[in-house]
Amino acid sequence: MSQLDQKSEAWSALFSEPMSDLVKRYTASVFFDKRLWQADIAGSLAHAAMLARQGVIAQADLAAIQQGMAQVRAEIESGAFEWKLDLEDVHLNIEARLTQLVGDAGKRLHTGRSRNDQVATDVRLWLRGEIDLISELLAGLQKALLALAEQNVDVVLPGFTHLQVAQPVSFGHHMLAYVEMFARDQERMADVRKRVNRLPLGAAALAGTTYPLDREWVARELGMEGVCQNSLDAVSDRDFAIEFTAAASLVMVHVSRMSEELILWMSQNFGFIRIADRFTTGSSIMPQKKNPDVPELARGKTGRVVGHLMALITLMKGQPLAYNKDNQEDKEPLFDTVDTLKDTLRIFAEMAGGITVQREAMEKAALRGYATATDLADYLVKKGLPFRDAHEVVAHAVKDAQAKGVDLSELPLADLQKFNPAIGEDVFGPLSLRGSLNARNTLGGTAPAQVRAQIARHRARLA
């Protein structure tokens, strides 16, 4: 039997009895951390190549390790690899199989490293690749929202504050607000990646190693931007995972905000949009229902991801230096965060293409809320009235319009002039919904010309 055929064999000389089956199950991680296998093999091959370059192992051992790892990779990819609970984790499973295949060369692979720096390296390599994919998915969602915005630049949506009708905005402008949010999320992911992409390998268990390792060479070989400079910190901290999960939580918060609006807009009380049937579900007893299950579930999954952030912060907060077994608990919340985020971004990009805007319903809602009241105040300011006085005049005009059950733009000129004689025939342009939109032609404003310019800017950025 190989020294690594059974987990307990790796340190059996010190122990007088085998580990209980209950403890094996409780401490094992192989059935969730096996997804790190590609990163584990990549890190091991780079480590082995460095050991050979430094003369720590022979070139023949390196060749055997490379050949054996190629077979291990093929077995895992084909599903023939046998993952063993007794071997606890992905690292010992792969090393045990390698040793079965190539003998002593496999045993030499672990020279100058520990599972502590090995697992930290694996997680960083894996997460780096996931961040790259998430960045692509964020770009895809932004492009889908840009397409939706471009189709609806001239559609008037009531803009809300406090969920009360405030001012008219372009529906395209509203969609671009989410593009901005997801663009910042993409920037955050790129920034997090820099700190994820540092090499712990060579820190060994906690104090470094006596072997003449070239850690910088390994970092370059793995495409990493540098090495972790303190061996204690390298093996024991998971702040990079916490930081990633914080960034992921912000993405999900933005998704959740958009979900809330889609849910409201789809309801009969609003009727602003329709979501394609493939993204909705029916009711088991009410045949008239179409439920927005996708945005509702995304809103719920936001709590799940934020919960993972809290779990990781709590996991780390009480640990002394250096490595502690607590850190095994970092993987499941991190893995689930990645999976949840990727699935959500994919489905939202697709769902954006299945949104149909109900233009008439939006415009009617804007008219019901006296959305151009501020435009009347601005009109009076341009006539020389101080803004606070103009604000008071418009309040009286709105009160009169409410009593008559009409919009401000529907009040006769004579009625408007009762509130201020400076009001002339030219007032009805600013009081119209599109007049209000077009008037806000400043950088970042909702005027269609500005919205089209922003769409062009974002398209160039994402090209």
Q: Give dist(CA 285, CA 292) in Å, integer.
A: 16
Reading the block at residue 360, the tokens are 């008439």
Give DSSP secondary structure letters for 276-338.
Answer: -GGG-B--SS-TT--B-HHHHHHHHHHHHHHHHHHHHHHHHHTPPSS--GGGGGGHHHHHHHH
Reading the block at residue 246, the tokens are 């914080």
Q: Give dist(CA 167, CA 159) in Å, integer.
A: 5
Q: Give dist(CA 134, CA 356) in Å, integer.
A: 27
Q: Give dist(CA 388, CA 168) in Å, integer.
A: 21
Residue pair 135/79 in contact by the 8 Å Cβ criterion: no
Reading the block at residue 308, the tokens are 């993972």
Q: Which residues are catalytic?
A: 162, 283
Q: Give dist(CA 397, CA 386) in Å, integer.
A: 17
Give DSSP secondary structure letters for 212-249.
Answer: ---HHHHHHHTT-S-B-S-HHHHHH--HHHHHHHHHHH
